[in-house]
Structure 1
Amino acid sequence: MNSSAVAADLTSLTGVAFSKGHGTGNDFILIADPEGEQQISAAAVAAACDRHRGIGADGLIRAVRSQALPEARELLERHPDAEWFMDYRNADGSISEMCGNGVRVFVQFLLDSGLVALAPGDVLGIGTRAGIKWVSRTDQGFAVDLGPWSFSHPETALERGVDSLVTADSLDVTRPGLSISTGNAHTVVALAQRSELDELALHRAPVVEPVPENGSNVEFALPHDPLVLDGIAEISMRVFERGVGETLSCGTGACAAAAATRFWAGAGAPDLWRVNVPGGVLGVRFFTAADGEEHVELSGPAVIVAQGVFG
């Protein structure tokens, strides 16, 4: 996108108030639009997220009352508590189902804006394109029940342990991957050495074969040695997000990487995980919910760093 196009697209946001926030370095522009009156084009999102000519971010989040969005009203009928909908766009303007780090930052934004209250011990329902997500406060920020996780290709995953091949610029050979859904699509690759993780070249998108219908985020996970210490398993991870590029963190990706590594580790692998990403540390917990399914919970910090108005 050239500079004149960026300027034109940013002009469409003139006078719109925004906040800038991040969760373990995964950063977002946040806009309050309670009645869904602000139409934001994909080009405007891309211009705002441009790190040289815009505000700069991995994505843009619009806070809209669920009642004001046609795609959110059905969710509201099933979950009347989901007053607010997280309309999330990737940095290139494309629509994403949701974002685990983004949900936490979104709730902090709603709290700072006086749009919701969340007392310790209470739970807040947030509408997303991947369904309702339940958020609670923690000492370190927020914990989000992302709902059930699943294998994208369960028969292949259970039979072979992998279901795809992944090629990345810095890896000497194509590596096997395992595709997992945590609300977003992910493909997880296990690495054996720290040098492989540190020297990853993620300037270009890794190639996943077979190609998922709507694309996939790709996580490269390194299990620690020992894997489990004091009942908590630990991995380190880097990620390439579709529509964005490499990011400092990915919440749903951290959950997918933990789920894949836990599956590969076999029986006896713990339910509590610590995931180190370039932007910090995230907590992941697997638990059986009231619906009888295994859910995954993501926890970590959320920080609002600035407010402003598009000029």
Structure 2
Amino acid sequence: MTTDPSLQLQPETGLSGVPFTKGHGTGNDFILIADPDGLLEIGAHQAAAACDRHRGLGADGLIRAVRSTLVPEGRALLQTNPDAEWFMDYRNADGSISEMCGNGVRVFVQFLISNRLMALDNGGTAVIATRAGIKVVERTTSGYSVDMGPWEFIHPEDANGKGMDSLVEADGLEVPRPALSISMGNPHTVVALAELAELRATRLADAPQVQPQPAHGTNVEFVVPHDPLVHDGVGHVTMRVHERGVGETQSCGTGACAAAAATRFWAGTGAPADWVVRVPGGEVGVRFHAGPDGREHVHLSGPAVLVAGGTFL
């Protein structure tokens, strides 16, 4: 008797025998896999299956740790950043490739340290290669601080003139809301809401509709400035986010940076350099400072937690 191959049980992820670690940064969770010699082929299907919250491990994304010399984007960055030994190969929960993730890069460094692929004392820095360029990560007593690089407007011609460049529709909001699009190496569209009740009522199971939408899609942040906005010289906002290729997440590091950048721009002259961004998974710190390239950079700080490890069956 023969068996129809289509009826045979197949491994869900295609990663049988591969060790993994599960980690998160303020609830933004990831599957991390060490592949220092570049031996694994992890494509969109494998990543999506592993991140599935019912049939896989469940995560907002999958991160592969591979030496930069083995990835074209990594090799290019090594030309000017020879210390960037490790490349953060990041895929969203739907398997799509993403430029990088601010929460993910902190967890990535904690993973490298835990797996003895890197040694880093408190106060030390790690140079990490990503598809959004080089990220310098400092280990602190409470987690990690990351120089996320410069921020910029996606549509500067509109942003500088009107402070808004698009309209966003979302389930739970009665009318489209004006928004501002910010690039942190990946695209974000920030919407200001008036009250926390309005933020809670916004339903983010489905992707908000953005017009015009950035060329490669966008993450959408809904932000409520606190009243007062500034306390003891620090700005405070509360945020929820729908991540491109994922859905609503407990936190988004680059999104927190974009939310602070947009709110700071709207606040005008005298707005502080330091911000606290509250997200469903906790809170992160955002700081604006002059970068070595003469542009304004953004620092993101927060925790990185590894919670479990195992092997795909």
Shorter chain as denominator, the TM-score bin is over 0.9
- 1:1-311 to structure 2, matched below 5 A, reads 8=10, 10=12, 12-311=14-313
Compared with structure 1, are the counterparts of its residues 47 and 266 closer, same or farther at alpha carbon in structure 2 (3 Å cutoff)?
same
Asked if the contact 1:146–1:182 (Cα under 8 Å) also holds between the matched residues in 2, the reply is: yes
Q: Secondary structure in 2 aligned to 1:39?
A: coil
TM-score for the superposition, normalised by structure 2: 0.96
Q: Secondary structure in 2 aligned to 1:61?
A: strand
User: Which residue matches 2:3?
Assistant: none
* 5+ residue gaps, structure 2: 1-5
Q: Which amino acid aligns with 2:166?
A: S
CA distance in 2, matches of 1:185, 1:149: 10
Q: Secondary structure in 2 aligned to 1:82?
A: coil
Deviation, 1:139, is: 2.1
CA distance in 2, matches of 1:162, 1:140: 36
Asked if the contact 2:13–2:47 (Cα under 8 Å) also holds between the matched residues in 1, the reply is: no
Deviation, 1:8, is: 3.4
Identity fraction in percent: 67
Q: Which sits farther off after the overlay, 34-43 or 22-31?
A: 34-43
TM-score for the superposition, normalised by structure 1: 0.97
CA distance in 1, matches of 2:287, 2:234: 10
Q: Secondary structure in 1 aligned to 2:58?
A: coil
CA distance in 2, matches of 1:173, 1:212: 21
Compared with structure 1, are the counterparts of its residues 90 and 9 closer, same or farther at alpha carbon in structure 2 (3 Å cutoff)?
farther
Q: Which amino acid aligns with 2:62?
A: L
Q: Secondary structure in 2 aligned to 1:48?
A: helix
Q: Which amino acid aligns with 2:214?
A: P
Deviation, 1:194, is: 1.1
Asked if the contact 1:18–1:30 (Cα under 8 Å) also holds between the matched residues in 2, the reply is: yes
CA distance in 2, matches of 1:301, 1:184: 21
CA distance in 2, matches of 1:185, 1:79: 24
- Deviations along 1:251-308, whole A, 9 cap, x unmatched? 0000000000000000000000000000000000000022211000000000000000
CA distance in 2, matches of 1:61, 1:37: 15
CA distance in 2, matches of 1:283, 1:192: 22
CA distance in 2, matches of 1:202, 1:106: 27
CA distance in 2, matches of 1:230, 1:301: 23
Asked if the contact 2:122–2:141 (Cα under 8 Å) also holds between the matched residues in 1, the reply is: no
Q: RMSD between aligned alpha carbons?
A: 1.2
Q: Which amino acid aligns with 1:71?
A: E
| Residue correspondences, number | 307
Q: Secondary structure in 2 aligned to 1:124?
A: strand
CA distance in 2, matches of 1:9, 1:183: 35
Q: Which sits farther off after the overlay, 78-87 or 119-128?
A: 119-128
Q: Which amino acid aligns with 1:231?
A: G
Q: Secondary structure in 1 aligned to 2:10?
A: helix
CA distance in 1, matches of 2:222, 2:88: 27
Deviation, 1:10, is: 2.9
Q: Which amino acid aligns with 2:160?
A: L
Q: Secondary structure in 2 aligned to 1:134?
A: strand
